[in-house]
């Protein structure tokens, strides 16, 4: 029987994806990318989706990068196709309409760091190590790192990481804004569960609108982006969710979304 490369656990629209190649530290080969893409295509059309968490199997790694063995003998054309495959898959992840959380439980290198950058949240264990070590292999990041990393942490730090290939610990990743939270490894799972439950428990239409406003707004000039915010703010008043949220506040009870 073939190995399940992406394990999917669905708890009422809160979906957990586990990249399952622990013996290779969950390195991303073309089969893993194809399977991830297939899973994301299924998720993106679902109205009941609330939040997505992505992590790596085993105790040691989130993802230790693109698969170096698979890449070693590639021609430039094959490398281009591999990069495009990953970029398309990561774009699907980035543009899921609900919050996405990278739960980083160890090595988060190269394509692994790029995968985390395609998520809205990154929560790391205190022993996690991050980096874009591609220059040590004679290449550059090819799964979005040269573009998403400077947008997340600024160009100076992105240039530092992409040209030295050095690894940084979770504390430094937190300091530069690469991750949102750092937890003791023993508490990481519980926190991931708590966070996704919290995200999934908020008004689903409002959460989707907040993500859309931030993601789409960043691609526009400020005035257009502010107009987008106004449109989405008004849209929130069109459904039951806003009435329930505000009524619950006035009636001093918890909202039921
Ligand atoms: N690709 C393929 N296999 C990998 C891998 C990768 N990126 N990273 C680790 N593995 C494999 C190892 O080959 C090893 O397999 P075997 O047991 O069959 O030998 C297994 O995972 C365990 O790894 P190690 O024995 O090396 O474990 P370690 O604890 O000694 O070291 C590590 C851990 C520091 C993460 C080390 O494995 C390492 O440096 N890995 C490569 C990290 C890297 O360079 N990533 C960037 C890849 S390039 C990229 O991602 C380009 C891009 O942008 C598209």
Shared domain for 194 and 207, answered yes or no, is no
Length of the chain: 257
Total number of domains constituting the chain: 2
Q: Which atom of ligand 1 is nearest the CA belonging to 83?
A: 54
135 lines ligand 1 (CB under 6 A): no
Position 66 scores a pLDDT of 98
The CATH number of the domain where 178 resides is what? 3.90.226.10
**Pocket residue to mutate for ligand 1, from 65, 117, 131, most atoms within 8 A of Cβ:** 65
Q: Which domain holds residue 101?
A: 6-200
Ligand 1 centroid distance, CA of 186 (Å): 24
Tokens of 103: 């739960």
CB neighbourhood size of 12 (10 A): 9
153 and 46, same structural domain?
Answer: yes
- Asked whether residue 188 falls in the same domain as residue 70, the answer is yes
Task: Decide the pairing of beta strands 167-169 and 129-131.
Answer: antiparallel
Q: What pLDDT is stored for residue 2 in this prediction?
A: 65
| Minimum CA distance residue for ligand 1 atom 10 | 24
Residue 1 lies in a domain: no
Q: Is the CB of 137 under 6 A from ligand 1?
A: yes
Residue 31: other Cβ atoms inside 10 A:
15
User: Using a 6 Å cutoff on CB, does residue 138 contact ligand 1?
Assistant: no
Contacts of 171-178 with C-beta under 8 Å, sequence gap 24+, read 171/126, 172/130, 173/122, 173/124, 173/128, 173/130, 174/124, 177/152, 177/153, 178/113, 178/116, 178/117, 178/122, 178/130, 178/149, 178/152, 178/153
Q: 166 with 218, same domain?
A: no
Give the CATH number for residue 208.
Answer: 1.10.12.10
Burial class (CB in 10 A: 0-12, 13-18, 19+), 46: middle
Please indicate whether residue 143, judged by its CB atom, sits closer than 6 Å to ligand 1. Answer: yes
**Ligand 1 pocket check for 203: Cβ under 6 Å:** no
Q: Which residue has the tokens 């690469």?
A: 178
Q: Is 144 in the pocket of ligand 1 (CB under 6 A)?
A: no
CA of 24 to the centre of ligand 1 (A): 7
Q: Which residues are catalytic?
A: 114, 134
Q: Which atom of ligand 1 is nearest to the CA of 141?
A: 53
Half-sphere exposure of 21 (CA within 13 A, CB side): 19
Q: What is the mean pLDDT of each run of 10 residues along the chain (257 residues)?
A: 87 97 98 98 95 97 98 98 98 98 98 98 98 98 98 98 98 98 97 97 96 97 98 96 96 95
Rounded distance from Cα 157 to ligand 1 centre (Å):
23
CB atoms within 10 A of CB 166: 13
């Amino acid at each position: 029987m073939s190995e399940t490369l992406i394990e999917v656990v669905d708890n009422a629209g809160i979906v957990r994806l586990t990249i399952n190649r622990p013996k290779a530290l969950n390195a991303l080969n073309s089969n893993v990318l194809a399977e991830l893409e297939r899973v994301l295509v299924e998720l993106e059309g679902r109205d009941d989706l609330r939040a997505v968490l992505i992590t790596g199997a085993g105790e040691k790694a989130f993802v230790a990068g693109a698969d170096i063995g698979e890449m070693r003998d590639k021609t430039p054309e094959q490398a281009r196709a591999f990069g495009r495959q990953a970029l398309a898959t990561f774009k699907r992840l980035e543009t899921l309409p609900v919050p996405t959380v990278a739960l980083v439980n160890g090595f988060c290198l190269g394509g692994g760091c790029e995968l985390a950058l395609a998520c809205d949240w990154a929560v790391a264990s205190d022993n996690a190590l991050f980096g874009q070590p591609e220059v040590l292999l004679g290449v550059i990041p090819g799964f979005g790192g040269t573009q998403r990393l400077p947008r997340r942490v600024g160009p100076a730090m992105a240039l530092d990481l992409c040209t030295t290939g050095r690894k940084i610990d979770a504390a430094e990743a937190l300091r530069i804004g690469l991750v949102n939270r750092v937890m003791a490894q023993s508490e990481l799972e519980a926190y991931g569960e708590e966070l996704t439950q919290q995200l999934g428990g908020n008004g689903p239409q409002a959460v989707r609108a907040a993500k859309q406003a931030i993601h789409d707004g960043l691609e526009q000039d400020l005035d257009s982006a502010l107009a987008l915010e106004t449109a989405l703010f008004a849209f929130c008043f069109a459904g039951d969710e806003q009435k329930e949220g505000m009524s619950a506040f006035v009636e001093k009870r918890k909202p039921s979304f």
